[in-house]
Amino acid sequence: MEGRASDVITPSAAAFLAAMHRAFEGERQAVLQARAERRREFDAGQMPDFSPETQDIRDADWRVAPVPADLLDRRIEIAGPPEATTIVEGINSGARVFVADLEDALSPSWANLIAGQANLIDLWAGRLEAVNRRGSKHAPRPDGAAVMLRPRGWRLPEAHVHVDGGPIAAALFDLGLYLFHNAGRIRAAGKTVAVYLPKVEDAREARLWNDVLAFAEHKLDLTKGSVKATVLIETLPAAFQMDEILHAMRERAVALNCGRFDLIFSFVKCLGKHARFVTPDRASMVMGSNFLAACSYLLVKTCHRRGALALGGKIADLPVAGNRAANRDALNRIKADKQRAALEGFDGVWVSRPDLARVAQEVFHGLVPEQNQLGVTHADVEIIREDMLSMHPGRRTESGLRGNIRVVLRYLSAWLEGQGAVTLHHMLEDAGTAEIARVQLWQWVYHRASLSDGRKITPELFGEILQDEAGKLRADLGEEAFRSGRFAESAKLLSDMTLAQDVPDFLTLSAYDLLAA
């Protein structure tokens, strides 16, 4: 598929990417520096809060531009990498939106990126086909799910493409190629050009995205404001700036999405040096309570007040083949999660597989028979800073410690081998869940947190268990598979990141040099 690079990066597409880079690389670097400064302030003890400088935006009566008709019903959304089969099955799944996810669901090897963009070009050119498990070809249904692109976030470079001696931002590479090749065809088909924007931290970053999209509209002769955006609220700073983010993109914002996994990750990354925020086992950090509940209610209230949709995330549970009782329990957890989201006022939820779209649809459509719940205002709900910083109670166990180590080892190995997600113990582990596991390990070691049996999680204990888990993998897989799976590299990277004095920003950023080598 790398042979299609010439179809994807044409001379005119390359010129468009270069123009985007020259227009926005300076501001991108500035927002990355602002992120680093914010982290230093959090480490020093300054807590996130609602800014008094933007109180007027939060208090004023304004609304985003009307949501396009084809994006008003987003009750079920499915996300996956832009592989041909995944795209076709996602569009045909019964979900209302398919998210082609280059951020968390794709390992960004050059081959994967080129193949993904080529598949999306084929989709909008009307020639994409996939072969199902029975060997027959099938194509996307014209009345299937709307398609949105989720590019990579601002932090990542794209090492394979340089402009003026430096790498282009991965965000601009992903977004620029998609819009350049497909925006005209999408509009000609009478559909909305739509994107999902990840890892936004504040209104300044939202304005940067808005400026990029306005630039693309101008260069590609698209109507101003016609490219619509959903912003993922998956960082703790962004959770305190929902109004401001919508306001910065009010001509094109159609929704916010509460990204639970990355929100937990960001919470630990931002506040991890403070002992009162030491986390329990990941399994204890559930939606519907503490800071995750506060963020959910605030997001629904904010979005609906401003005329935008409020979308919920997914859980990691997957069906369990061959075990009826375990499968029933897993499906019940998935259904309960979708029920909670509907009752909290969300307009839609995410799933990760086509079979789960049907499960979620049964629950969510039963509770939300209309296109959305924009009428749910939560006018009586008041969320304050303390609610947004409320940590879940719970224990830390050796099982949780080992589980985190296994998740990161397995995920990193898969990611370095070109796979963006891995199934482990009937849970779908992607970059978001792996990041939680990784920052929890760092936090527990940093604070020498106590396990439920009284032992301290010291560097030595972490090292012993890491070595033991790596040894189990070697025994289970065999020496050759262990070596070819790059588990030794993964274990070293995990050790280095866990024992660092400051928590490294992103797992995928630290691992990217190994992938791109």
The answer to whether the CB of 360 falls within 8 A of the CB of 349 is: yes
Q: Which of 104, 281, 430, 438 is catalytic?
A: 430
- The phi, psi pair for 418, rounded to 5°, reads 95, 10
Beta strands in 165-301 (DSSP E): 166-169, 194-197, 228-233, 253-258
Amino acid at 349: V
Q: Nearest Cα to 62, choosing from 329, 247, 262?
A: 247
Matching residue, tokens 């009162």: 276
Known active-site residue 150 = yes
Chain CA centroid to CA 224, Å: 27
The answer to whether the CB of 246 falls within 8 A of the CB of 64 is: yes
Q: Rounded to 5, what percent of the chain is helix, strand, coil?
A: 55, 10, 35
- The phi, psi pair for 466, rounded to 5°, reads -60, -45
Q: Which of 74, 150, 305, 406 is catalytic?
A: 150
Distance of alpha carbon 306 from alpha carbon 369, whole angstroms:
22
| Local structure of residue 478 (DSSP, 8 states) | -
Known active-site residue 96 = no
Task: Considering only CA atoms, give the Rg of the chain.
Answer: 22
Distance of alpha carbon 513 from alpha carbon 304, whole angstroms:
42
Q: Which are the catalytic amino acids?
A: 150, 430
